[in-house]
Amino acid sequence: MNHQAPRSGPAARDATMPTYRDAESAAARLAGVAHRTPVVTSATADRLLGASLFFKCENLQRVGAFKFRGAYNAISQLAPPQRRAGVVAFSSGNHAQAIALAGNLLSVPTTILMPLDAPAQKVEATRGYGGRIVTYDRYTQDREALGRELAEEQGLTLIPPFNHRDVIAGQGTAAKELFEEVGELDILLVPVGGGGLISGCALAASVLSPSCAVIGVEPAAGNDVQQSVSRGEIVRIETPRTIADGAQTNAPGAITFDIIRRLVREIITVDDRQLVAAMKFFASRMKLLVEPTGCLAAAAALEQVLPMRGRRVGVLVSGGNVDLARFCALAGQAD
Ligand SMILES: *Cc1c(COP(=O)(O)O)cnc(C)c1O
């Protein structure tokens, strides 16, 4: 399917549909810059579920999440004048860190809009990578409008966290690496916020493992994408309250919604208690520190939200940025 609009400048290009080709070129740009993260297995998880699980560890990616892939891919394609002026991003954390680091590596100044209540570690890390931080209230202010305002006032290029061709193509390289390493899969479970990661992963699956069922996992309290898919149109929800802070999105974007509708088999949900259980499983059984949002796909697997017996299942572990204090508080909760 080819949805490409006529190309008449950078903005028009950003709004076009990415294809697997774009993920391939993203992989070439990211080679030697992003980590090729490990794929780990767990005999305990396999035994529990009677399946073969392959965990793609993007918690071990640069900045601690897959978002570095999309951010670097997007910034590296800006024209010289856009690079000189700089970019602006809005984010609850990981996209911010990713833009700040990618900008730093590519010598592009970055301005990051972050919610007042963003986890301290994420704010500090973003500042540490050289991003200029502007705060807003996520429950009362519209970050997209603020981002557009800043972009116009200061001539910056806005790089959104998910609804962007080059961001999606970059995120798709995570699944591309997974399929290249372990071969075809029956199921691929992917955390879903605004749907950038799963869109890129679905593009990769459609070529590298065409019969694989790509399944998205959202927080139960914030199932905007699940609702959108079942209604057949983009549904906007109030900012959800969930410990999965990387998936507190209000709605999918036009591009991600279109790809999800075409290429994603189903969207399922897990609740915060299930996320905590998965976080503990990662820490105690697999020696991995995974943030709550990063546990979405694994929680769905461990809770057997769908039948997996005898299947080869890819689990995207999307990020590992959680304050140690917050991790301890969550892990200390009773099962
Ligand atoms: C951003 C993020 C997600 C959600 O990604 P989308 O592209 O918005 O669907 C999932 N996990 C982590 C750790 C993230 O940072």
In the chain the domains, ranked by start, together with CATH numbers, are: 11-65+165-332 (3.40.50.1100), 67-158 (3.40.50.1100)
Is 122 assigned a catalytic role?
no
**Mean pLDDT for the stretch of residues 122-128:** 85
Q: How far is the CA of 313 from the centre of ligand 1 (A)?
A: 20
Candidates 146, 145, 91; CA nearest to 123 is: 91
**Residue 192 Cβ < 6 Å to ligand 1:** yes
User: What is the greatest pairwise CA distance in the chain?
Assistant: 57
The rounded percent of the chain whose pLDDT value lies above 90 is: 79
Least confident of 10-19, 52-61, 107-116, 150-159: 10-19
| Pocket-testing residue among 59, 62, 66, ligand 1, by greatest number of atoms within 8 A of Cβ | 66
- The length of the chain is 335
**Mean pLDDT for the stretch of residues 307-314:** 96
pLDDT at 11 over 80: no
Q: How far is the CA of 150 from the centre of ligand 1 (A)?
A: 24
* Cβ contact 318:293 at 8 Å: yes
Is 92 assigned a catalytic role?
yes
Q: How far is the CA of 270 from the centre of ligand 1 (A)?
A: 15
Compute how many other C-beta atoms are within 10 angstroms of the C-beta atom of residue 38. Answer: 13
**Residue 176 Cβ < 6 Å to ligand 1:** no
Calculate the CA dihedral of residues 292, 297, 298, 299 and round it to 10 degrees.
Answer: 70
Confidence at residue 223, expressed as pLDDT on a 0 to 100 scale:
97
Q: How far is the CA of 192 from the centre of ligand 1 (A)?
A: 6
Q: How far is the CA of 319 from the centre of ligand 1 (A)?
A: 8
**Mean pLDDT for the stretch of residues 281-306:** 96
Candidates 149, 192, 144, 152; CA nearest to 168 is: 192
pLDDT at 47 over 70: yes
Atom index in ligand 1 nearest the CA of residue 171 equals 7
Confidence at residue 279, expressed as pLDDT on a 0 to 100 scale:
98
Atom index in ligand 1 nearest the CA of residue 198 equals 9
pLDDT at 274 over 70: yes
Q: How far is the CA of 89 from the centre of ligand 1 (A)?
A: 15
Candidates 269, 302, 296; CA nearest to 284 is: 302
**Mean pLDDT for the stretch of residues 213-232:** 97
Residue position matching structure tokens 């290009």: 13
Question: Where does residue 148 rank: exposed (0-12), middle (13-18), buried (19+ CB within 10 A)?
Answer: middle
Mean pLDDT in the chain?
A: 92
Residue 265's pLDDT band (boundaries 50, 70, 90)?
very high
Compute how many other C-beta atoms are within 10 angstroms of the C-beta atom of residue 225. Answer: 28
Confidence at residue 15, expressed as pLDDT on a 0 to 100 scale:
66
Q: Does the pTM of the predicted model rise above 0.85? A: yes
- Which of 42, 76, 91, 92 is flagged as catalytic? 92
Q: Which two tokens stand for residue 310?
A: 């005898």
**SS3 of 53, please?**
strand
- Condensed to tens digits (0 to 9), the pLDDT of residues 50-101 reads 999 999 999 999 999 999 999 999 999 999 999 999 999 987 689 999 999 9
Ligand 1, atom 5, lies closest to the CA of: 193
d(CA 134, CA 155): 16
pLDDT at 186 over 50: yes
Ligand 1, atom 14, lies closest to the CA of: 246
**Residue 103 Cβ < 6 Å to ligand 1:** no
Confidence at residue 4, expressed as pLDDT on a 0 to 100 scale:
42
Distance of CA 155 to the CA centre of its chain: 27
Residue 5's pLDDT band (boundaries 50, 70, 90)?
very low
pLDDT at 6 over 60: no
Atom index in ligand 1 nearest the CA of residue 162 equals 7
Atom index in ligand 1 nearest the CA of residue 195 equals 9
Strands 39-40, 52-57: pairing is antiparallel
